[in-house]
Structure 1
């Protein structure tokens, strides 16, 4: 068994994690430690209770698959060496998952206390355990069981019961601090209605934006490509190939065969460019058509959720190196638009779910004609990224993309309906 990470190494890995970069986990790791202690104490007081259905299914899986159970146990033991206040055994982990599926995230004024990704916070140290931890979250059996649990949480967050955090008190999402922090004045929020007029927490999370805050200045510019999402640029990766090694942290690659799943028109994108951006928790979480055209293909791929790029190195770019890897393997949507501007060709829109929920909803239909700026889908609660795939030699980018093939954690901001590229 390999030795666990040192305190300095786990701190560096935590600070470079996607959840910390996205603001869903606090800047101060001690806040995660305290939160874990509190969650585990609540779990220990309820160990005699019944599990929710998908958590019980995970328990049954671990009873049947002894090799998987042994790996979970070793991972928990390794995590305890990094944080002694975490879960001590599988039963406590399962009960913590029960608790999470029935809880909505509160707003926190203090950034050091923001635990907006509870499963990421629960698995924070487990994911950092060398070998066993990395492999556990790649294990399809464990991943599929977690997906069912996440879907149960999503059902709760889609329900009226989840609205209890939508209020104007200090820890409420409708507080004055939250209004300014998350620029709620840009969104369709009714401050005079109960719960801001939202039917659920998820309805609040993927709330519509007021059109005047995302004007479409390129509506009549047929050569323009507009951003499908709010966020910041991660990278533009040129000459993408059908098959590529995606596990080398120094030379992060996209594999079209993995990225585009079952889409039969992969060959038209070989040699093209992948443009990837990152969405923070404060960003608008609906996505729009980047070009005028017809929806040729759509698919939702159920992939991994908590898997990180395998490397002995710490990602110094606050989770952005892993985003290229995650685009290849994570839960994601695939929407191919055949542009009515022949100079642009086909454009593939790939919303990527990361960690919690990993839920993408495609609202556009195959055969539907769309105009740039039309809404085509949204993320439910959770981390997210977005890829656009262009055919070769079709566009020039009008936003800074940094050094070709490299990534950044402080990329240029982009906004829905703003021009990001033009036909050559």
Structure 2
């Protein structure tokens, strides 16, 4: 087990953005396309962003400075984003662009444009600014509307960059998912419909469905970190990014129950299944969304802050997220929390309609889903609940070939005997 700061370049390994050279090729092509098209009418939300920049001197300062500050940790061949008008033109272009498949994928176009600005001094401040985050939310919601439309299906084809190509089919293992191979676009209605595709009935069985001592994985994901004796309030912005329950759970009154408990965190790759499932059987106590940041990174990580995956513990406290509190049927588990965190372009955390306080969920039942790209999630347990984690659930950050934890597979076992508390310790 390891702290997140020891992690390798998870974001690119997970397929959220390509390797540096491929990213620059993509940016160069986008810049060339924007230049060749000349001045275009701005999408209404991009025009609103422009108006904010024009009238707010601090927002204007942040954006101009972050574009001018070339990061020392990443050697770009040139400054692809020239100035604020150029930035707006590039954003305008991707508002009607669905993610394409590739061996080195650009899953999140807006994130690719903003990539190196996130780790500049001005970028650290800009992406924590409430005014800028409000506009980013509007931009991402508008992009989501496009991804919900039939026009976004243009990337579901069998070309080399299409999601129906042989390479893409192999990568996403489409045979495990519900789809109609005889229909155009496999029967999907939009990019988001394809992205949130469901597994076939028997593809991911629930581990030990009748055994309340077995906790299952909430997402198809790779382990990121396990921390024990987590504090109510901690400095999550420092180098080792400890978990701070009060901040992560958005000051919910349940926080006291989890002080001294355990947090398990895992990340979802861009091509993963992106629906969430209940790790236990129990009653829904609360299910709510929390507004947060979209491209903020942990500047305590220094050069590594350019990679959102390195900032995952930090993002669990500040990013847009869904929080679901479940009172488990097993009294030895009691109250637990599922925290689904939207990273970067992944701003849409959709709680399943009908998931209300008082409703009962079975182990493995669907809770909601992400839209857009890769993300991360946390499970929060009270002190002494977890006896041990499954071998595959133990983080192996330096092994790119480490096994993935399948959704609804065994994640952990509940402790039978009372647990003696130990001093604060973080893995």
Considering the TM-score relative to the shorter chain, is it more than 0.5? yes
With the length of structure 1 as denominator, give the TM-score of the two structures.
0.89
Given candidates 192, 200, 205, the residue that maps to 1:202 is 192
Task: Give matches, 1:231-270, under 5 Å.
Answer: 231-249=221-239, 251-270=240-259
Is residue 43 of structure 2 the alignment partner of residue 52 of structure 1? yes
* Equivalent in the alignment of 2:97: 103
* Equivalent in the alignment of 1:289: 278
Is residue 26 of structure 2 the alignment partner of residue 26 of structure 1? no
Is residue 149 of structure 2 the alignment partner of residue 155 of structure 1? no
Change in Cα spacing, 1:320 to 1:72, as seen in structure 2 (3 Å) is: closer
TM-fit CA distance, 1:401:
8.0
SS at match of 1:414: coil
Instruction: Please tell me whether the aligned partners of residues 158 and 165 of structure 2 are also in contact (alpha carbons under 8 angstroms).
Output: yes
2-structure distance, mates of 1:220, 1:402: 21
Given candidates 313, 332, 339, the residue that maps to 2:328 is 339
Given candidates 269, 276, 291, the residue that maps to 2:265 is 276
Task: Give matches, 1:38-117, under 5 Å.
Answer: 38-46=29-37, 48-79=39-70, 82-108=76-102, 110-111=103-104, 114-117=105-108
1-structure distance, mates of 2:203, 2:307: 29
TM-fit CA distance, 1:385:
0.4
* Equivalent in the alignment of 1:222: 212
* Equivalent in the alignment of 2:290: 301
* Equivalent in the alignment of 1:376: 367
* Equivalent in the alignment of 2:317: 328
Instruction: Please tell me whether the aligned partners of residues 346 and 370 of structure 2 are also in contact (alpha carbons under 8 angstroms).
Output: no
Deviation by residue 1:119-159 (Cα, 9 ceiling, x = unmatched): 12101221232x11222222221122111101100110011
Bigger shift: residues 155-164 or 210-219: 210-219
2-structure distance, mates of 1:313, 1:90: 25
Is residue 378 of structure 2 the alignment partner of residue 387 of structure 1? yes
2-structure distance, mates of 1:386, 1:402: 13
Bigger shift: residues 333-342 or 360-369: 360-369
2-structure distance, mates of 1:216, 1:306: 34
TM-fit CA distance, 1:44:
3.2
Instruction: Please tell me whether the aligned partners of residues 293 and 370 of structure 1 are also in contact (alpha carbons under 8 angstroms).
Output: yes
Deviation by residue 1:141-181 (Cα, 9 ceiling, x = unmatched): 11221111011001100111101111223221112211111
With the length of structure 2 as denominator, give the TM-score of the two structures.
0.89
Given candidates 126, 150, 154, the residue that maps to 2:117 is 126
Deviation by residue 1:180-227 (Cα, 9 ceiling, x = unmatched): 111111111211111111010011111000132211231011111111
TM-fit CA distance, 1:416:
1.2
Change in Cα spacing, 1:16 to 1:86, as seen in structure 2 (3 Å) is: farther
Deviation by residue 1:14-52 (Cα, 9 ceiling, x = unmatched): x9655313212112x122222212212332345533211
Bigger shift: residues 66-75 or 340-349: 66-75
* Equivalent in the alignment of 1:360: 349
2-structure distance, mates of 1:256, 1:341: 23
Q: Which 5+ residue runs of structure 2 have no aligned equivalent?
A: 416-427
Superposed CA RMSD in Å reads 2.3
Q: Which has the higher contact order (CA 8 A, sep 6+)?
A: 2
Instruction: Please tell me whether the aligned partners of residues 359 and 382 of structure 1 are also in contact (alpha carbons under 8 angstroms).
Output: no
Aligned length: 403
2-structure distance, mates of 1:272, 1:248: 20
2-structure distance, mates of 1:343, 1:291: 12
Deviation by residue 1:215-262 (Cα, 9 ceiling, x = unmatched): 12310111111111111111111111111101111x221111111114
Instruction: Please tell me whether the aligned partners of residues 19 and 117 of structure 1 are also in contact (alpha carbons under 8 angstroms).
Output: no
Is residue 159 of structure 2 the alignment partner of residue 169 of structure 1? yes
Is residue 307 of structure 2 the alignment partner of residue 313 of structure 1? no
SS at match of 2:304: coil
Instruction: Please tell me whether the aligned partners of residues 358 and 382 of structure 1 are also in contact (alpha carbons under 8 angstroms).
Output: no
Change in Cα spacing, 1:40 to 1:317, as seen in structure 2 (3 Å) is: closer
Bigger shift: residues 183-192 or 412-421: 412-421
Instruction: Please tell me whether the aligned partners of residues 303 and 329 of structure 1 are also in contact (alpha carbons under 8 angstroms).
Output: yes
Change in Cα spacing, 1:397 to 1:143, as seen in structure 2 (3 Å) is: same
1-structure distance, mates of 2:241, 2:257: 22
* Equivalent in the alignment of 2:404: 413
TM-fit CA distance, 1:72:
1.0
TM-fit CA distance, 1:390:
0.3
* Equivalent in the alignment of 1:141: 131
